[in-house]
Homo-oligomer: A and B are copies of this chain.
Amino acid sequence: MPLKADLDAIDWKILRELQGDGRMTNVELSSRVGISAPPCLRRVRRLEEAGIIRGYRALLNAPALGMDVVAFCLIGLHHQADAELKTFAERTRGWPIVRDAWMVSGESDFLLHCVASDLGTFQTFVIEELASAPNVDTVRTALTIRRVKDEGLVAFPA
C-alpha cells in the first residue's frame, strides 16, 4: 500500500518534526518546515493516508504510573512452523504485561517488551504464563535498569 517515496525535503522535515512532537500545531509545524499552513496540512494528511504516519501516541512515564518493572523477554519455541508462530503471536496479544512483541530470527523466535507494576508480578507472569505456555522452550529475560536513548523509529539526517 505505501509506496516508498515521492517525499521531498519538506516531507522529511515534517516527519522529523512530528516524530519529535506529535502534538505540534499545524501553524507551528508549517513555520518550522518553511511553508504556509494549508499546504502543510495537506502534506500531513497525505502522509497519514499513505500509511507513512501510522498514528500518534502520548509517551507515558511508566514508573510515575506505578509500573516499576520494564523488561525484555527472548522466547525460543520448540517448533517454528508457521502455525505455531502465529499461535504464539496471538497469545502475546492476550497478555497485558506484554506491550510490544516482535517475531525475530536468530537465537530466539520472539522478543517481548514487558511492563509490570512490580517484580513479583513480572516473575509470576514469566513462570506461570510465559514459560508454561504451550510450545515454549526457552525464556531469557533482561530487566531494564534505565533507558539510555529514546528517539523515534526513523533516523533523519541532521
List the interface of chain A (C-beta within 8 A of B): 2-5, 7, 15, 18-23, 50-67, 70-72, 74, 89, 92-93, 96-108, 110-111, 115, 140-155
Contacts and interface: CB of A to CB of B under 8 A. Distances in A.
Give the copy number.
Answer: 2
A140 B100 contact: no
A54 B59 contact: yes
Given A107-B140, A154-B60, A65 B4 contact: yes
Given A54-B59, A111-B144, 5 more contacts: A57-B57, A101-B147, A104-B144, A106-B143, A115-B155
Contact of A149 (B18, B100, B146): B100
A32 to B, nearest CB: 14
Contacts of A103: 144-148
B58 A143 contact: no
Interface centre among A72, A108, A143 (most CB of B within 10 A): A72
Given A2-B64, A66-B4, A115-B153, A144 B102 contact: yes
A93 B149 contact: yes
